[in-house]
Structure 1
Amino acid sequence: MTYYGKCVEIVIEQLNKFRPERDRPEQFLEAAAVSFQTLSPQKQAFVLEVLSGCLEYRKLLKVVVDAFYVRDGRLCLGSDYSLFEVTCYLAAFQLEELGFQLFCKIIRSQPAVLMHKFLRFFFNPLNLCSWIQDEWSLLFEKSHVKENWIDLLMRWQPEVQVLIDQLQKVLASQAPLPKAKTKATEPREFSLTVPRPRAIPMPEPVPVLAKPRPVPGSTYQSPKEQQQLEMVKRYNRWKAEELLLKTNVQELRCAMPRSRGEPPRKGSKVKPRLRAPPQIRRTPKLTFYRPDHVPVKLNTAAILREGALYQRQVEKELQRVDQLVDGAGDFSEFLEWQKKMQAQDLEERLAAGVCRRLQGKLSHEEAVLARQNLVQENKQRAGQKKEETAELMQQCAERRLQEERAAKELVGQVMEAQKNVKVAQAKLLKGRRQTAQEVMEESRELLQHVAEATTEEQKRRCEAIFQLRALETQPRRQGKLVDLTQIPGHGLEGEMSVVELRERLALRREAGQRSEEEKRDRIIRAQRAKSQELRDAVEQIALCRAAMGRAAALRWEEKKGRSVLPAENERVRELQRRLEERAAERRRQEALLHVSAPRAPRPKPRAQLEAQHWLEQEQSRERRLRALQRECAARNAA
């Protein structure tokens, strides 16, 4: 049993190393065969046969093992996955060649609990004849699965059931091991070194601190400017809430239903009322007011930039007036020509839009024709593919028969090589005993050397400790007092005492504070002058904006009066003719092939929104075109 157990352990170790997303089975087997050269020929042949089979039928084995973990093996470890794969392969593909006795030896060499659970699940007739057969039939032919694997497992099911009963008896006979009584821990006192008594230090004099300056009253009071800003903010908020409340009241009055005796308003449709609506309550949170003109805060850069822009426009206009006064020409003719060219450009853009829509419809018709041609080509390719598949299945069956014959020959060779196992085992035991004796002698010598080195290190540490303690017992010199008013007398230029140095630093600090206050005053004056300039620039910008707004309104009214109609050209007529030809060709192709037009895929929510958006754009464009046509007709009639 130990022999087969070691073989199975080698196979499990190799399967754990295999990664299907990184390794290829052929290369992995070649690398594994190199590592198996130290094994005996019989053991090497058995391990290679089982490993190659597990890799070849990995999908079939994965179906059974995954289902076992889901149903009966929920308490089993994930590290035993490869063990269940090897057991499933031996039971499904090698039971006939190995024989039942050898199969029982291999099973008994593994943990009885795991083998009992897995064999009871795998050899259950209800599982074999139902879902296992169906899952395997998805990977191989149904007749091949039933004849070669399922029927074979059902024939061996009575003998395997006897083996399962024997494993159950072994599990029942195993009594639980008694727990050894642990010895209680006996507490011991710590062997600590008694510390030497410390000398009481002299008390240090308590330093006398200078009296601090009182906190100024402005620290906990907000400045007057901030208080004024808060008052202005509260007043503005109160005015905005009052205006908002008035607006909400007016809108609620508009939303209130009219009374029974009140006549309907002009232009409104009278709808049948089923029941009286409930009374509308006024709440401060219900707001419908949306201001039209929201004030925009401009920073300094924006104000200066906009002021410079209007200044350049004013200078440019003054230059133009001076040129006109001097006798320069007018741009009225140029403006009329420009308007005419813009009308032509608009007409061309509208015609281009019509062309794009016609081209889209034309490309749709061509796509339908291409799809019909593709369906016909796919039918021809499907017929060729079926013929090629039949030939490949026949070749696969022949190759499988050859592999089965080679496997039987390999099993015969393995059985012959098994006879020389005992002699090899005796030689291996003798070599291991000699190696063990040599290792024990080497370890004894190494332990002796380590003990000697440890003793020398302990002596060296003791001597170092004695020297440190002797240094600690020597007396130390105390520091001398320092006089801050005394000059050091090093002979340096500008040498002074510490007290004089502190006084000079205090004077330098006061001079720096005075310079900072003067600089702060200059900055405040510059900021006030700059703010006055900005206020003037804002007033000028407001005047320029009003003038520009009036000019823009006049231009918009003038532009609104003009209208341009798209005219048909040769390109549009050519696209319409091609579109009619493609539609007629598609209908003729459908009649010949007797197939219905391809159904458009169901649009997704986002596609529906996009389609609705473009439909609305098309409708609005058509409405605008009809309105322009009516205006032009009315203008011509006038």
Structure 2
Amino acid sequence: MAYYGKCIETVIEQLNKFQPEKDSPEQFLEATSTALQTLSPQKQAFILELLSGCLEYRKLMAVVVDAFYVRAGWLCPRADYSLFQVICYLAMFQLQELGFQLFCDIVKAQPVDKMHKFLGFFFNPLNLCSWIKDEWSLIYETAHVKENWIDPLMRWQPEVQELIHQLEEVMANQLPLSKTKARVTEPKEFNLTVPRPRAIPVPEPVPVVAKSKPVPRSTYQPPKEQQLLEMAKRFNRWKAEELLLQANIEEMRCAVPRSQGKPPMQASKKKLQLQLMPQIMKTSKLTFYKPSEVPVKLNTAAILREGSLYQQQVEKELQRVDQLVDGAGDFSEFLEWQKKMQAKDREEELTVGECRRLLGKLSREEAILARQHVMQENKQKANQKKEETAELLQQCAERRLQEEKSMKELVEQVTEAQKNIKLVQMKLLKDRRQTVQEVMEESRELLQRSAETAKEEQKRRCELISQLRALETQPMRKGKLVDLTQIPGYGLEGEMSVVELRERLALLKESQRREEEEKRDQIIQGKRARSQELQNRMEQISLCRAAMGRSAALRWEEKKARSAAPGVSSQDERVLELQRKVEEKVAERRRKQATLKSVPVPAPAPASRPARTKAWAHQEQQHWRDLQQSRERRLRTLQLSTSAAGHGRRQEAA
């Protein structure tokens, strides 16, 4: 008996050491077998078999033991968890091999009250056949669980019940332990030294702060460079407006035909001149100063981008020179032909614009005719709608009479139903009184049960407190001294002491510092070379900018001379045809309007007609104004496109 008791104690000790998160079962069994070399082979085999079985089926046993602690084993300490696992494994897997008598001896050698509670909980038929079977079926198949574990445990029920009865008799025969009063600790005062009185510190002198300088006035004033830039902007804007006014006057004089649209064009031209003349008169009285050139700071990307652009232009120029040296032709004839074709395109665009304007006017006249036709149709539809609404109102009146009759019938039915409500209310009151009495009785029973459970909980807490105080009185293990120069000896590769590790880390930090210094020196040298390269690029860019400025000034003079030349107005057959159609539509509209005036109209019509004609006149004026603005915008875009095309051709020719 002592043989099996010691084996079970060693198994419980090893199970307490096992940590499933860190240790693997195979390595843990190998380490345990090496530690049990001093025991006999029989003991070693029995312990390893028990230990391997508990580790392999720990999920099954955890279901039973965890539920035991929750339901029946409140007072059992958590340190006996491994003991209950071993007893559960013996009952499930080793009961047939050991024999029931040996199993009884092993159980009786353990604490009687704990074994009585655990076996009564585990071999309860209700627990085995209900939730234990269901929980085990989630881990293994149901047929396997029933055949190998549930049925054998149910067959051993009579013998196990006798064993539980014997344990109960042993517990009854035991003498109750005498409760010794716990020794109360007596507090003692500390023998502390009386501190010396603190000396009063000497007050420190107040530091004299130096008087701060006042904020300079330049902080709240804009910089001088910004003022110079604003002056330059105003001067350039004034020059551009003056040039644009001159170009618009010359081009509008050539582009607009005199047959149609003469009054609105002249009015718009005069209006534009009247709007811009006060500005020109004001600006002529001002004195402008040409600002000095303000240097613009460029970043690295802008410098490299501009340098690559100028480099590409130089390469193209060199290629063109090489082609001319090899015998390639000149582009002068092609450029002259291109200018002629562009002039034709501009004339075609102007005619197309005039056609669009006439088409818009034609569509407007057609829309006015269609609106007059729609007004006549709307009058007819309004008369039809009035007749239909009268019929609908008559139908609604008949429907309301029918609804009033149905509502009267409903009111009579409701009054009859209210008479029977009082009888139903009396029955409901009786039923509610009976339910209230039943609820009161149930609440009294629940209060009694809760009081009993509170008493049992208080007893359980007292037992737990006594067990915790007993555990607190046990001596604690003291810490172990650590030698930093000693190698741990775990058998790992490259194992070293803490002192050696610190020295190696210091050497590694020193090497990293040297590498960082070398890299820093390389980066500084690269930055210097880069800055020198950027400086050379900036010198090249300044030279290229000066050359491009001279070429731009020449192009501007050519453009100014070309814009001063008067344009030739062209008339096309399409434009004449559209003008003829517009005149016909206007005549037709006036005839129809005269016929509408001759037709007698109702009284409110004269008051609304002038307002409508005024609105149409306002719309017509707005339409002509929009056409004038669109024509001006189109002329500006044509000028910009022609200047950009000429600039590109001159660059290619250069």
What's the TM-score, normalizing by structure 1?
A: 0.48
Tell which structure's C-alpha radius of gyration is larger: 2
- Relative contact order higher in (CA < 8 Å, ≥ 6 apart): 2
Normalising by structure 2, we get a TM-score of: 0.47
